[in-house]
Amino acid sequence: MGNSKPLPTISCISVFALYFSFYTITLTSSTSLQDDFIKCLYRNTNVRFTLDKTFFTPERNASIFTEVLESTAQNQRYLTKTMPKPGFIFKPVHESHVQASVICSKKLEIHFRVRSGGHDYEGVSYVSQIEKPFVLIDLSKLRQINVDIKDTSAWVEAGATVGELYYRIAEKSKFHGFPAGVYPSLGIGGHITGGAYGSLMRKYGLAADNVLDAKIVDANGKLLDRASMGEDLFWAIRGGSGGSFGIILSWKIKLVPVPETLTVFTVTKTFEQDRSFKILSKWQEIADNLVDELFLRVFFTVSGNKANKTVTMAYIGQFLGEKGTLMEVMKKDFPELGLTQKDYIEMSWIDSIIYNSGFPTNPPPPIEILLQAKSPIGKVYFKGKSDFAKKPIPVLGLEGMFKKLLEEDAALVIWTPYGGKMDKIPESEIPFPHRNGTNFMIQYYRSWSDSEKRPNRRIKWIRELYGYMTPYVSSNPRQAYVNYRDLDLGQNKDNSKSNFIEAKIWGANYFKDNFNRLVRIKSKVDPDNFFRHEQSIPTLPV
């Protein structure tokens, strides 16, 4: 499909026959805008869809509408009563429905958001706080996956989850994998637009580094592939953030080789067991310089009761190889961790996905658990932030970080090592710029339940921790990972040309110098800024 693909057309008789066959469902409750949108959809596609399975409004059935809205929304902060809700939700079942949605939204001047997996940290894929009314295009019915082992590639539609993709790969081969995220409920459509890292990143880079082709609907409703969109736009969508350049329909990804046997381990140390920070300091020195096959993260959590709180560090490792080889690596490079033979667990790549995902492993669940769209951590209220460390954090800095962690109960900090393949890819190769010179990435995460009476206090705490870490992380700009979206860095106000000035600040945080190229591409492919949200790439001011 080297050329842009126009929408199929159908006769007016067919349009109205289709429309009136379903119109009785919504006649008594739909607004004029909803009716106009439906009519327009039918005029611009020849693929039928039934309204009761694809179109959801609070007027027609409030409980089903709420169920659909909340079905894949991961951050409950953006589902509270005070948050804006979409006027209606449309679930396309064919790519032409997405094309028609763009054409009709543009014609009717309807602002919309697009959701694949609902993991956006600030909910911008399903909530608009800057423009109302808005509607939601939910891609969850577009989830076909075609794995071609002979070609070492796969086409995966945007509504499919990472877990589904891994499962389908494992169905065909135990010697192939893909370097995307570890949480199986991630929607592949949006995940890759931010770069997407996982446990194979030190060996193979990001998911976005392993994309061969894509299908996208542009601001004119045209269906484009890599050849017809051009290399600039293809560059931008692989790490330049979702919701800015078009609607991703599917990715063609490159599968990567994995061994038949992997080895994993988890070793936990309390603050009392590493009070001098000898182990943690050694991790900072070596984690990004270990063999590329070894991915060793640190999870910091708070455990114990108020009278006996401590910070616990879980060292979670994955090695592309057998335990005998890994034992030699750890003995040589990180003996301080004190691993014993019983700590090493051999398993297949697909089983390692379940191990790393946070599912209970005693007994191990069947791999079919990857097919469920639910997150293993459940649906929670949370706030997240991110940083990149360019050098080891000194003991004084670690002492302050631990002191800050002990102020909370449900705090989580994750250190993810870089190095390996990540050092070898130029920072301008794709929009994701965090490459050579990065020791590790930091994620700060604070969650709470619906019974929390002072959520603002929890958000205040994570902001304070982030502030405390300032001297110990990257600067000028202070880098951040766009898939851990953080509106504290700044946001667009509305569809204003002045957004460019403010966006240069948070744009540099996420993309460094790549932001300037993203803006130029945006101004070329979407000059009217049709695709926009609180942190979408702006156009150049005129």
C-alpha pair distances (Å), 356 with each of 186, 198, 292, 353, 377: 14, 10, 18, 5, 12
Question: Which residue do the tokens 């086409």 mark?
Answer: 155
Classify the phi-psi angles of 358: left when phi > 0, otherwise alpha if psi is within -120 to 50, otherwise beta. left
Cβ–Cβ under 8 Å, residues 433 and 304:
no
Q: Which of these is catalytic: 78, 445, 484, 510?
A: 484
Which 8-state DSSP code applies to residue 483? G
Q: Which of 511, 294, 292, 333 is nearest to 421 (CA)?
A: 292
Quote the crossing angle between the two packed helices 349-357 and 162-172, to the nearest 10°: 160
Cross-strand bridge partners of residue 447? 382
315 is catalytic: no
Question: Which residue do the tokens 């046997």 mark?
Answer: 261
Distance CA 307, CA 124 (A): 40
C-alpha pair distances (Å), 182 with each of 109, 458, 486: 38, 26, 21
Cβ–Cβ under 8 Å, residues 280 and 410:
no
Cross-strand bridge partners of residue 465? none
Residue 493, token pair as written in the block: 């106000």
Which 8-state DSSP code applies to residue 394? P
CA quadruple 102, 103, 106, 111: dihedral, nearest 10:
-30
Strand residues in 27-123 grouped as ranges (E): 55-56, 89-90, 111-115
Which 8-state DSSP code applies to residue 231? H
Q: Which of 76, 75, 89, 12 is nearest to 43 (CA)?
A: 12
Cβ–Cβ under 8 Å, residues 210 and 256:
yes
Distance CA 19, CA 24 (A): 9
Q: How many helices (H) and strands (E) does the chain have?
A: 18, 18
Contacts of 58 (CB under 8 A, 6+ apart): 65, 66, 85, 88
Distance CA 335, CA 330 (A): 6
Question: Which residue do the tokens 């931010």 mark?
Answer: 194
Query: Is the omega angle on the peptide bond into residue 538 within 30 degrees of 0, that is, cis?
Result: no
Find the DSSP H helices in 420-473.
421-424, 455-468
Give the catalytic positions in this structure: 484
